Structure 1
Amino acid sequence: MEKSQTATSDIEPSIPFPQTWSLRSFLFPICILLLGVLLSVTLGHLDVQQELSEDKAQVTAKLTGVRAHLEGQIHSTFDVTEGIAQLLRLDGGITSAHFEGMAKQAIALQPHIHHIALAPGNVLRSVYPLKGNEGILGVDYRNVPGQYAAVLRSLESRSPC
């Protein structure tokens, strides 16, 4: 029996088995893994930035359209009263019947306008429609601090108030 034990111990394996792993065999796969993670994170960040940029561009385009629409509404609202203002500048005054006719037409064209008032010397002298607004006739804007500042800005900018 001893012979068989010796015979087996004398046989050497034909393929050598590495006893230790080298540092390179661990480092290379880890570097590739880290590089892949870094690349994935970077691409994900760029993708998010691109989506945010596209969203911002869409919102800006929509807001530009809304702004143009609002500006158009504001200009058209004040344009219908511009005729009264021009007449007052040229003639220095307007008859009650003429004011009522022009104001009625302006309000019919623009539902945003609820009433139109004339205040020469900052005192309300005419208003359309008169019904329901009789109490404001004779009001001096100089005695209404909340509105007088708006009247002064309107006078300085030469625009309706």
Structure 2
Amino acid sequence: MAVFVLAICALFVDQQNRKVSDQLLRADVLAKVNIIRAKLEGNINGNLQLVQGLASAVTTEPYMGQQRFAALAANLFKEKSQLRNIAGAPDLVISLMYPMKGNEKALGLDYRKNEAQRMAALRARDQRALVLAGPVDLVQG
């Protein structure tokens, strides 16, 4: 009988140890994920701040040409960011691009006709705000 009670106690202790171990593992993973989330959130917010500055410039110069757009956009890429390229789409058609090299195929893209990006583009226009959307397959690859 004593052996039976000891076996039951041993099973109970083992089960409790597993629960504690699982909780510690879960807490460790959660802590690591929170660090990654905070870094990602900081990167996104930093990129949005950079883009907001360019958006403000475009708003004050609605007839901005490619040369002026490229000069302003180049400053965004001097900062540490995850931006690859940036486009301007007056009337929802891309006519401004930086950098131009490698992104030529995107020129002329009409967001009203692009199923994958239409809703985000319309929402950005209608709300007059930056919209984070994606992932999307870019026409320029």
TM bracket (short chain):
0.7 to 0.9
Change (3 A) 1:39 1:156: farther
- Indicate the residue corresponding to 1:24 in structure 2: none
User: Is the radius of gyration larger for structure 1 or structure 2?
Assistant: 1
Residue 126, structure 1, aligned to residue 87, structure 2 = no
In the TM superposition, what whole-angstrom CA distance separates every residue of 1:109-158 from its partner, at most 9, and x where no partner exists? 24522221111111112111233434433331112212213323434562
> Normalized against structure 2, the TM-score is what?
0.79
Residue 105, structure 1, aligned to residue 69, structure 2 = no
Task: In structure 2, list runs of 5 or more residues that go unmatched.
Answer: 133-141
Residue 83, structure 1, aligned to residue 53, structure 2 = yes
Amino acid aligned to 2:100: L
Change (3 A) 1:50 1:68: same
**Aligned CA-pair RMSD:** 2.1
> Normalized against structure 1, the TM-score is what?
0.70
- Indicate the residue corresponding to 1:12 in structure 2: none
- Indicate the residue corresponding to 2:130 in structure 1: 159
Counterpart selection for 1:149 from 114, 119, 129: 119
Change (3 A) 1:95 1:104: same
How far 1:92 moved relative to its partner? Answer: 5.2
Deviation beyond 6 Å, 4+ runs, structure 1: none
Amino acid aligned to 2:122: L
Structure-to-structure mapping, 1:65-76, within 5 angstroms: 65-76=35-46
**Structure showing greater relative contact order (alpha-carbon pairs closer than 8 Å, 6 or more residues apart):** 2
- Given that 2:93 and 2:111 are in contact with CA atoms closer than 8 Å, whether structure 1 keeps it comes out as yes
User: 2-side partners of 1:80 and 1:34: how far apart?
Assistant: 69
Matched residue SS, 1:117: strand
Seq. identity, %: 26
User: 1-side partners of 2:130 and 2:93: how far apart?
Assistant: 17
How far 1:38 moved relative to its partner? Answer: 0.9
Matched residue SS, 2:78: helix
User: 2-side partners of 1:71 and 1:41: how far apart?
Assistant: 44
Amino acid aligned to 2:130: S
- Given that 1:78 and 1:160 are in contact with CA atoms closer than 8 Å, whether structure 2 keeps it comes out as no
Change (3 A) 1:35 1:113: same
Q: Aligned residues, how many? A: 130
Task: In structure 1, list runs of 5 or more residues that go unmatched.
Answer: 1-29
